Structure 1
């Protein structure tokens, strides 16, 4: 996910994206705990995407 794509979205879409990412992260953590996760690099990718969305949400909140 590119930050330019996220910057073009409004706040409601960003909140939905954040919610979806947090659910995906939870699922991956459960797979990791039960030894079912094949690609552990997915955790890092999801974590960075969450940080990206939260950063853009904070920037939009400061602009208003």
Structure 2
């Protein structure tokens, strides 16, 4: 896959995309590419991790004063 890639980019197969996508990575479709020794394969550029969602919770929690059990 290196011979059909590009400098500074990570090219992955559909199978790798399917594994990494649920873990929060994003991809850009590259399309069908002739891969040396493999034939024509659908490939993708790894574009990076999905930005984390910020969750802001303004709920106040009252804590009892004094010693807390371990």
- TM-score band w.r.t. shorter chain: under 0.3
Higher relative CO (Cα under 8 Å, sequence separation at least 6) belongs to 1
TM-score of the two chains, using structure 2 as the length reference: 0.22
Q: TM-score, structure 1 length as denominator?
A: 0.23
Between Structure 1 and Structure 2, whose CA radius of gyration is higher?
2
User: Which has the larger share of strand?
Assistant: 2
